[in-house]
């Protein structure tokens, strides 16, 4: 018995070590990838999908910048329809195929009549301030449709993240009555049809315009949307030669009875936004600030800054390391601003959360004027080795040349060690440590056994002698 329990203790230790090694491996290989979760929405064998090209007829949608949303949504929806029809076991319908007025109730009722598993409403965006950019998915606020929408929206973010579009996340919006704000979502859910709005990008902002200013772009969006739908439902296409049925489990963690935290309508401004001046160079007109900000309910998405005490603001910049997949972001970062010459700026930053609400920082004022000065021209200083090469005798030159290659390679290769190499080294170190511990455990166990055998032998001898 004693032996077995010691053995099991030994194996317990090995198991712990193995699990540590395994987690280390996952950590090194996995990065930010979330763990796979099952699709919460139950479906039959045949999937029924309704695509809703947003707007139509008199309802043109956004017309900013010469774009016409109602026709853009039609192009994208048609491409999504054609692509989805290439998958097996799907029925695909469009709420409209021409430029007609169609109420949100009728669109939702059409989906309900078709017994749709999902309604996808296709849109393009514009903002009042014309400063917003990026792609987002609006989903139902309440269970179980919130979970279905969240799992689809997450797939859509994954699908679009490599296009270079800024990701604005998967969100809900509530009206004053506490119900879903967006009509197509509200009307669909009221008829038990899960529905989401895909806002592909902003037609009135320079970062996004290149993503939607040609027919090919709009068609590409439709194909990406179809791909997300196929991934979400785990579809298979003999025609396209793709099979997402195995990948269908790679969905965001969500709870059928709960609401995904990141998708919750945050109606409060970011909680903290503080700036401090780290460095100012009045000659080169550069000022470096440290920005600390946080939003305890959601996350931060953009920042901008003012140099004139809040009268005018810069374009919006992506908040450093904002990650809509897990809600993380850098809470403190530094950035250097170029200050116009002959000014005494009054600097304010603003932090924006996932729901476009912002908080202004404290103001940093300057009493000294930034005045650009040309760097004083200094004679060209040549590197020491070059100087030797030019001035020194021929013999020294060759000596230097001979010595250098031997001494130099090490730092060079060290500089080239990338993050992958670093991770590989970490993995190797972990494996080596594991092997060392394992071997020492085996040796210790063997020694213990020997000692026990010896003790038993001694005890046996004693008994024999005493008898
Ligand atoms: Zn729209």
The 3-state secondary structure of the chain, one letter per residue: CHHHHHHHHHHHHHHHHHHHHHHHHHHHHHCCCCCCECCCCCCCCCEEEEEEECCECCECCCCHHHCCHHHHHHHHHHHHHHHHCCCCCEEEEECCCCCCCCCHHHHHHHHHHCCCCEEEEEEEECCCCCCCCCEEEECCCCCCHHHHHHHHHHHHHHHHHHHCCCEEEEECCECCCCCECCHHHHHHHHCCCCEEEEEEEECCCCCCHHHCCCHHHHHHHHHHHHHHHHHHHCCEECCCCEECCCHHHEECCCCCCCCCHHHCCCCCCCCEEEEEEEEEECCCCEEEEEEEEECCCCCEEEEEEECECCCCCCCCEECCCCECCCCECCCEEEEEEECCCCECCEEEEEEEECCCCEEECCCEECCCCECCCCCCCCCCCCCHHHHHHHHCCHHHHHHHHHHHHHHCHHHHHHHHCCHHHHHHHHHHHHHHHHHHHHHHHHHHHHHHHHHHHHHHHHHHHHHHHHC
What is the whole-number distance in angstroms between the Cα of residue 462 and the centre of ligand 1? 94
For residue 100, tell me if it sits in a domain.
yes
- What separation in Å is there between the alpha carbon of 244 and the centre of ligand 1? 30
- Report d(CA 168, CA 32) in Å as an integer: 17
- Asked if the structure places residue 375 within a domain, the reply is no
Residues 225 and 186 in one domain: yes
CB 229 within 8 A of CB 158: no
* Domain identity same for 139 and 169: yes
Q: Is the dihedral of CA 120, 122, 127, 133 positive or negative?
A: positive
Best CA proximity match to 43, nearest among 196, 234, 191: 234
* Same domain? 306 vs 239: no
* CA–centroid distance, residue 335 to ligand 1 (Å): 35
Contact of 236 with 242, CB cutoff 8 Å: yes
Q: 121 C-alpha vs ligand 1 centroid, how far in Å? A: 9
- Residue finishing a domain among 223, 243, 263: 263
Reference 287, options 339, 332, 333, 364; nearest CA is: 339
Average pLDDT over residues 144-159: 96
Ligand 1 centroid to residue 92 C-alpha, Å = 21
Q: How far is the CA of 72 from the centre of ligand 1 (A)?
A: 10
- Do 324 and 266 touch, CB atoms closer than 8 A? no
**pLDDT of 280 higher than 70:** yes
Percent of the chain's residues with pLDDT above 90: 65
Task: Tell me the Ramachandran region of residue 309: left when phi exceeds 0, alpha when psi lies from -120 to 50, beta otherwise.
Answer: left
Least confidently predicted of 102-116, 323-337, 395-409 = 395-409
Query: Does residue 427 belong to any structural domain of this protein?
Result: no
CA of 64 to the centre of ligand 1 (A): 12
pLDDT tens-digit series, residues 418-451 = 567 777 877 877 787 887 888 788 788 888 787 7
> Are residues 161 and 87 both part of a single domain?
yes
For ligand 1, the distance from its centroid to the CA atom of residue 357, given in whole angstroms, is 21
Claim to verify: residue 108 and residue 183 sit in the same structural domain: yes
Residue 190 Cα to ligand 1 middle (Å): 21
Residues 232 and 276 in one domain: no
Whether 19 is in a domain gets the answer no
In a domain, 178, yes or no: yes
Dihedral, CA of residue 225, residue 231, residue 237 and residue 240, to nearest 10 = 60
> What pLDDT score was predicted for residue 2?
39
CA 127 to centroid of ligand 1, rounded, Å: 11
- Residues 317, 202 share a domain: no
Q: Of residues 282 and 398, which shows the higher confidence score?
A: 282
Question: Within this chain, do residues 76 and 212 fall inside the same structural domain, yes or no?
Answer: yes
For residues 237 and 323, membership in a common domain is answered with no
Domain annotation covers residue 15: no
> Residue 406: its pLDDT value, please?
36
What is the predicted pLDDT for the residue at 108? 98
pLDDT given for residue 375 in this prediction: 82
Residue 465 has pLDDT above 90, yes or no: no
Owner of token pair 């025609």? 239
The alpha carbon of 409 and the centre of ligand 1 are apart by a number of angstroms equal to 59
Last residue of a domain, one of 239, 263, 287: 263
For residues 143-169, give the mean pLDDT. 96
**147 Cα to the center of ligand 1, angstroms:** 23
- Asked whether residue 443 is domain-assigned, the answer is no
Compute, in angstroms, the gap from residue 302 CA to the centroid of ligand 1: 23
Identify the CATH number of the domain in which residue 79 sits. Answer: 3.40.630.40
Q: How far is the CA of 352 from the centre of ligand 1 (A)?
A: 23
Distance 95 CA to ligand 1 centre (A): 15
- Out of 215, 245, 263, pick the residue that ends a domain: 263
Residue 12, pLDDT > 60, answer: no
The Å distance, Cα 125 to ligand 1 centre, comes to 6
What's the rounded Cα separation, in Å, for the pair 66 and 241? Answer: 39
**Ligand 1 centroid – CA 113 distance (Å):** 24
Task: pLDDT band for 378, please (50, 70, 90 cuts).
Answer: low
- Cα–ligand 1 centroid distance for 187 (angstroms): 16
CA of 198 to the centre of ligand 1 (A): 9
Query: Are 213 and 331 found together in one domain?
Result: no
| Span from the CA of 159 to the centroid of ligand 1 (angstroms) | 21
CA of 333 to the centre of ligand 1 (A): 35
Is residue 279 a part of any domain in this protein? yes
Query: Does residue 82 share a domain with residue 101?
Result: yes
User: In CATH, what number is assigned to the domain containing residue 355?
Assistant: 2.60.40.650
Over residues 237-247, the pLDDT tens digits come to 999 999 998 75
Measured in Å, residue 61 CA sits from the centre of ligand 1 at 5
Distance 269 CA to ligand 1 centre (A): 25
CA of 400 relative to ligand 1 center, distance in Å: 69
pLDDT tens column, 385-423? 443 333 333 333 333 333 333 333 333 333 444 567 777
- Please state whether beta strands 135-138 and 167-171 pair in parallel, antiparallel, or not at all (unpaired): parallel
End-to-end CA distance of the chain: 28
Q: Are 108 and 136 in a shared domain? A: yes
By the 8 A CB rule, do 118 and 200 touch?
no
Q: What spacing in Å lies between the alpha carbon of 75 and ligand 1's midpoint?
A: 14
Range of the domain at 96: 47-263
How many structural domains compose the chain? Answer: 2
């Amino acid at each position: 018995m004693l032996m077995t329990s010691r053995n099991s203790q030994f194996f317990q230790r090995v198991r712990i070590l193995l699990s540590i090694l395994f987690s280390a491996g996952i950590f090194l290989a996995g990065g930010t990838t979330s763990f796979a979760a099952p699709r919460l929405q139950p479906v039959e064998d045949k999937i029924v999908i309704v695509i809703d090209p947003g707007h139509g007829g008199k309802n043109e949608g956004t017309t900013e910048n010469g774009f016409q949303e109602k026709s853009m949504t039609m192009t994208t929806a048609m491409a999504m329809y054609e692509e989805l029809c290439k998958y097996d076991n799907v029925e695909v319908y469009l709420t409209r195929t021409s430029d007609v007025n169609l109420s949100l109730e009728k669109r939702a009722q059409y989906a309900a009549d078709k017994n749709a598993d999902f309604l996808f409403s296709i849109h393009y965006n514009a903002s009042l301030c014309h400063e917003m950019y990026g792609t987002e998915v609006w989903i139902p606020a309440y269970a179980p449709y919130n979970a279905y929408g969240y799992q689809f929206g997450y797939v859509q973010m994954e699908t679009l993240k490599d296009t270079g579009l800024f990701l604005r996340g998967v969100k809900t919006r509530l009206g004053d009555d506490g119900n879903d704000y967006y009509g197509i979502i509200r009307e669909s859910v009221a008829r038990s049809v899960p529905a989401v709005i895909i806002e592909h990008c902003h037609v009135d902002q320079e970062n996004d315009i290149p993503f939607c200013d040609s027919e090919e772009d709009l068609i590409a969006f439709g194909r990406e949307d179809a791909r997300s739908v196929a991934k979400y439902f785990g579809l298979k296409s003999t025609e396209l030669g793709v099979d997402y049925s195995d990948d269908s489990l790679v969905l965001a963690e969500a709870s059928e009875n709960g609401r995904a935290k990141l998708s919750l309508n945050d109606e409060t401004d970011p909680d903290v936004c503080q700036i401090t001046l780290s460095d100012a160079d009045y000659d080169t007109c550069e000022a470096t600030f440290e920005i600390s900000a946080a939003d305890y309910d959601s996350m931060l998405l953009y920042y901008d800054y003012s140099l004139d005490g809040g009268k005018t603001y810069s374009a919006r910049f992506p908040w450093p390391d904002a990650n809509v997949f897990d809600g993380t972001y850098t809470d403190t970062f530094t950035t250097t601003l170029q200050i116009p010459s002959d000014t005494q700026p009054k600097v304010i930053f603003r932090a924006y959360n996932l729901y476009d609400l912002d908080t202004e920082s404290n103001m940093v004022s300057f009493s000294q004027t930034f005045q650009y000065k040309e760097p004083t021209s200094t004679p060209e200083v040549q590197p020491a080795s070059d100087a030797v090469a030019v001035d020194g005798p021929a013999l020294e030159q060759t000596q230097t040349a001979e010595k250098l290659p031997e001494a130099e390679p090490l730092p060079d290769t060290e500089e080239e060690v990338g993050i992958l190499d670093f991770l590989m080294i970490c993995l190797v170190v972990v494996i080596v440590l594991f092997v060392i511990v394992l071997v020492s455990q085996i040796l210790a166990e063997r020694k213990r056994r020997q000692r026990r055998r010896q003790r038993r032998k001694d005890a046996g001898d004693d008994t024999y002698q005493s008898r």
